[in-house]
Amino acid sequence: MSGKRANGEGSIYPYKNGFAAYVWVDTPDGKRKRKYVYGKTREEVHDKWIKLHTEAKKGPVATRHRTVAAFLAYWLKEIVKPHLAPLSYVSYEGYTRLYIAPHLGSKRLDKLTVRDVREWLNKLATICQCCAQGKDAKRSPNRRKCCAVGECCEAYPSRRVVQGARDALRAALTHAVTEEEIGKNVASLVKVPKPRRKRIKPWSVAEAGRFLADGAARDDHLFAAWVLVLCLGLRRGEVLGLTWKSVDFEAGQLYVDHQIQRAGRQILHRETKTEDSDDFLPLPALCLKALRMRRAQQTGDRKAAGELWQGSNDLVFTTKYGTPIEPGNLTRMFALRARRAGLRAIPLRNTRHTCGSLLVALKVHPKVAQRILRHSQIAMTMEVYAEASEEDVREALGKLSEAMGGSG
């Protein structure tokens, strides 16, 4: 083909070993600049030139594209950190630093393809993270046992990690589309296998009753926390974030609006995730009595600690020196207490189903239970009530009452 330009192609010209073209575009910062496209043949450049004209008519077009790593750094600093929860930032930053940037960081953001993302995810699932992150090499020489001494431990990422890395990249690219740096989100077009959740049978009411009775008999400092988890279905962070201002003993209510979270190296006392999580919950008699016991225990701890007491945020559940309880420690203490009571281990978060059955045993009215369980329909609550009306339920709660020194 000759180098002669066709009609209307005044911006296409020979360039090095092929052709080039440009279009005047408005950039995201409001300036007017030339945007160039390149190709080996005139037809290839012409197609790109037409496409660029179309993009320019739709709105601003970036003339200089960042790498994936550069955009992710911008996204974390300017979008995630100021506007999302601290835990979200810690999660996204970890996925970016450990899994995305090392493999895709050098690619140009606008050149990232669906194939690039798919190949990255397939490769990621086969990379030992002990090797990749140098985990074994960071240990002292006498404690190195696998990757650092040439014996790969095959610590491959789980399906959940692979899915989390894809989701983090998808969230970042969604914002890149919003800011018109790219035309489509290629990460959203790549499917990953969903991680399979391991189903764990929750405790029966009889088992929960044994657990609480054992805690009451031992005067467990966290007994009230276990009662609130099992009887009100509170989350771990919500229990640890409770303050005495949230407890209304006269009205028999509890206001849930704060939580304790670990975000990186910080323990944060912050508002709950959404306004829908905030609520006034009615307190059954068992919960009221447990909280009164907890208040007396904390008063004793404060006197015993003296000048060493560090509590300043009025938390209901603290260490013996008034400091917040580490969320991970509460999970470990729950497992320890379960073993001590001779019960099978279940995750702390897996107690919500048991909560509904306990409310039946405590003779809580279904409409009140609906509020506590946060069911949208009373029919859902009544299904729980229909399942949990066994005689051993009453017996378990009777033993718990005796352990607490009466039914009051």
pLDDT at 258: 82
Average pLDDT, the chain: 83
Average pLDDT on 269-298 reads: 77
Bridge partners (DSSP) listed for residue 279? 256
CA dihedral 239, 213, 385, 259 (to 10 degrees): 0
Average pLDDT on 132-146 reads: 89
Rounded distance between C-alpha atoms, residue 103 and residue 98, angstroms? 9
Q: Who wins on pLDDT, 205 or 243?
A: 243
pLDDT (tens digit, 9 = 90+) per residue, 251-265?
888 888 888 778 777
Residue 218 has pLDDT above 60, yes or no: yes
Backbone angles phi, psi at 162, to 5 degrees: -60, -45
Rounded distance between C-alpha atoms, residue 127 and residue 156, angstroms? 6
Q: Which helix (H) or strand (E) holds 263?
A: strand 258-263
Residue 404 has pLDDT above 60, yes or no: no
Rounded distance between C-alpha atoms, residue 368 and residue 78, angstroms? 44
Rounded distance between C-alpha atoms, residue 122 and residue 66, angstroms? 25
Rounded distance between C-alpha atoms, residue 312 and residue 344, angstroms? 37
Three-state DSSP at 269 gives: strand
Q: With contact defined as beta carbons under 8 Å apart, do 173 and 183 qualify?
A: no
Sheet of 12-15: strand order equals 12-15, 18-26, 32-39
pLDDT (tens digit, 9 = 90+) per residue, 111-124?
899 999 999 999 99
Residue 67 has pLDDT above 80, yes or no: yes
Percent of the chain predicted with pLDDT > 90: 34
Residue ranges of domains in the chain, CATH in brackets = 12-58 (no CATH), 68-189 (1.10.150.130), 205-403 (1.10.443.10)
Listing DSSP states for 319-376 in one string gives -TTSPBPPHHHHHHHHHHHHHHTT-----GGGGHHHHHHHHHHTT--HHHHHHHHT-S
Which residue is listed with tokens 């704060």?
Answer: 258
pLDDT at 400: 55
Residue 359 has pLDDT above 80, yes or no: no
pLDDT (tens digit, 9 = 90+) per residue, 69-78?
999 999 999 9
